[in-house]
Amino acid sequence: MEATFDADYVIVGSGFGGSVSALRLSEKGYRVLVLEKGTRFAASDFPKSNWNVKRWLWLPSAGCRGIFKMTFLPHVTALSGVGVGGGSLVYANTLPVPGDDFFAAPSWGSLADWKRELLPHYATARKMLGATKVPFTTLPDEVLREVAKDIGRETSWSSTDVAVFFGEPGVTVPDPFFGGAGPERAGCTSCGGCMIGCRHGAKNTLDKNYLWLAEKLGAKVEADTEVTWVRPRAGGGFDVTARTGRSLLPFLRKTRTIAAKSVVFAGGVLGTVELLLKLKERPDGLPGISDRLGDLVRTNSEVLMGVVTERRDVDLSAGIAIGSILKTDDHSHLEPVRYPAGSGFFRPLAMPHAPGDTVGTRLLNAGGMFVKRPWATLKAAFVPDWAKYTMILLYMRTSEGTLRMKLGRGLHTLFRRGLTTGTGSGPQAKAWVPEATELARRIEKKLDGYTESLATETLLGIPTTAHILGGCCMGGSAANGVIDEGHRVFGYEGLYVIDGSAISANPGVNPSLTITALAERAMSRIPSR
């Protein structure tokens, strides 16, 4: 009976999937409670550089409750966002629509006419997120455009569509997006800080659009509250157990159980898949979830590199996080990325970009780079301001290789039972791709630069991704999917998965707009209360 529920919908996580769900369900008259394990931030809470790890990193056991989380897994290093607004707080604002291959991919193409159905939802998502073309270019964008010309693909270069308010730099105005119903905003100052949190109120993070409007309609958003258990409730609905507080010791945080009629899992791949894997293991959880849980985890097969310039007459850190995109071939894209001046956290983690299938070859290649270019190696290692003089390259490729997420123990879980990975099907993503290296070498020449990768890539050969997807994929039945094409969990009426873990093919480009459009579609099918 309705009166016995504390909320009609409890939403686990406040990223793209969670925020869309919160607004649309509130509009439909439901009582919505969003539980978010990260913190709620004001613009002034964000750090000035990523050296301020306490404010930037998410490592709660060490007292760091920032927005950026690194998860080290055996087959991939996954980067993600935490806090009220989820990945929108830390992301680079870029909102591309994937190519046709994505919509027709065999992994989900038979479940719906995705392109036709999603197009109106992409339009809504773009409007809600305030997607707009970057109105200027900076040196890295021009370098990328030159590379496009060199490889005969100038028409495949464009400025990015981004979720940023480009008013008068630094000038605050009343809500420019929702006819006055949203918060006041200030124009982008091109400070380059989008990935450490926008201190200027110019980035269209979810707390400034979907969540803002949802809260105005009565949705409750509780920060610092982690959902730890969900189980069916006698008589219908679900008991959701959550731990609230910021204490370093989890057992000192307050635990409570909320009665929900329905639950939307929207914790992102790392949050949702790990929680559901734990719930599936135990009879007092959700043991009936499909055995496909954790399968078909994809990345954009990204290769992340940094080209450190020897020039000192340039500032590569000014601009927005990603200002342009180049489609380098039918399946691949390259974007220049930046951190703001002074943000050198990744410098000590960087090593020469040295492709190779074994650690021996990679170390030999790295050594070879030192022998061939000793001064350049040293100059890159001791560059005075890594962010100011580094053009980060994000190469993405559509590929059908997948991983499997499961629970296990290892050094990366500090030998506690936690999220781990195994290989799935298809060619596995690598930390290097010859085409990406070739593009980086071209950029090196244009910038008098030196190409680096993260040590986890050069030493361990483990690729890095900011776009982890899948793990709760769609299928026609529980035999081949965790959810149906309406995001409903097979076997449990009232449970939904609406976040990156529901993405059931490789978009090959930054995925947040697609997650938002899919969430809009899922919500459009839920009737009003």
Ligand X SMILES: Cc1cc2nc3c(=O)[nH]c(=O)nc-3n(C[C@H](O)[C@H](O)[C@H](O)COP(=O)(O)OP(=O)(O)OC[C@H]3O[C@@H](n4cnc5c(N)ncnc54)[C@H](O)[C@@H]3O)c2cc1C
Binding site for ligand SF4 (CB under 6 A): 164, 188-194, 198, 200, 202-203, 320
Residue 16: strand, helix, or coil:
helix
Hey, what long-range contacts does 248-253 have (CB within 8 A, 24 or more apart)? 248/60, 248/61, 248/62, 248/63
Return residues touching ligand X (CB under 6 A): 12-17, 35-38, 79-83, 86-87, 90-94, 195, 226-227, 266-268, 271, 275, 322, 466-467, 499-500, 510-513, 515
Smaller CB distance to ligand X: residue 143 or 304?
304
CB of 140 to ligand SF4, least distance (A): 14
Residue 16 contacts which entry, ligand SF4, ligand X, none (Cβ below 5-8 A, type-dependent): ligand X
Smaller CB distance to ligand X: residue 132 or 377?
132
**Taking a C-beta distance cutoff of 8 angstroms, is the pair 337, 92 a contact?**
yes
Smaller CB distance to ligand SF4: residue 101 or 385?
385
CB of 56 to ligand SF4, least distance (A): 13
Which H or E run contains 9? strand 7-12
Instruction: Tell me the sheet residues that pair with 109.
Output: none
**Taking a C-beta distance cutoff of 8 angstroms, is the pair 243, 275 a contact?**
no
Instruction: Give residues with Cβ within 8 angstroms of 312, minimum separation 6.
Output: 389
Angle between the N-to-C axes of helices 139-150 and 434-447, in degrees from 0 to 180, rounded to the nearest 10: 120
CB of 296 to ligand X, least distance (A): 15
Residue 35 contacts which entry, ligand SF4, ligand X, none (Cβ below 5-8 A, type-dependent): ligand X
Residue 40: strand, helix, or coil:
coil
Helices (H), 207-285: 210-216, 268-281
Residue 8 contacts which entry, ligand X, ligand SF4, none (Cβ below 5-8 A, type-dependent): none
CB of 42 to ligand X, least distance (A): 17
Residue 158 contacts which entry, ligand SF4, ligand X, none (Cβ below 5-8 A, type-dependent): none
Which H or E run contains 332? strand 332-337
**Taking a C-beta distance cutoff of 8 angstroms, is the pair 62, 55 a contact?**
no
Q: Which two tokens stand for residue 260?
A: 């929900």
Helices (H), 282-428: 359-372, 374-381
Smaller CB distance to ligand X: residue 161 or 444?
161
**Taking a C-beta distance cutoff of 8 angstroms, is the pair 334, 322 a contact?**
no
Measured distance CA(412)–CA(420) in Å, rounded: 8
Q: How distant, in Å, are the alpha carbons of 90, 306, 319, 322, 338 from that of 191?
A: 14, 19, 6, 12, 10
Residue 505 CA from chain centroid, whole number: 16
Instruction: Tell me the sheet residues that pair with 326.
Output: 157, 334
Residue 232: strand, helix, or coil:
strand
- Is residue 331 annotated as a catalytic residue, yes or no? no
Could you identify the residue written with the tokens 């899948």? Answer: 470
Smaller CB distance to ligand X: residue 439 or 468?
468
Of the candidates 195, 185, 127, the one whose C-alpha atom is nearest the C-alpha of residue 161 is: 127
Residue 467 contacts which entry, ligand SF4, ligand X, none (Cβ below 5-8 A, type-dependent): ligand X
Pairing outcome for strands 449-454 and 350-352: antiparallel
Smaller CB distance to ligand SF4: residue 202 or 260?
202
Of the candidates 55, 94, 89, the one whose C-alpha atom is nearest the C-alpha of residue 211 is: 89
CB of 467 to ligand SF4, least distance (A): 19
Smaller CB distance to ligand SF4: residue 62 or 171?
171
Residue 190 contacts which entry, ligand SF4, ligand X, none (Cβ below 5-8 A, type-dependent): ligand SF4
Smaller CB distance to ligand X: residue 124 or 365?
124
Neighbours of 87 (CB within 10 A): 28
CB of 47 to ligand X, least distance (A): 14
Q: Give me the catalytic one of 121, 353, 467, 487.
A: 467
Residue 200 contacts which entry, ligand SF4, ligand X, none (Cβ below 5-8 A, type-dependent): ligand SF4
Residue 323 contacts which entry, ligand SF4, ligand X, none (Cβ below 5-8 A, type-dependent): none
- Tell me the catalytic residues: 467
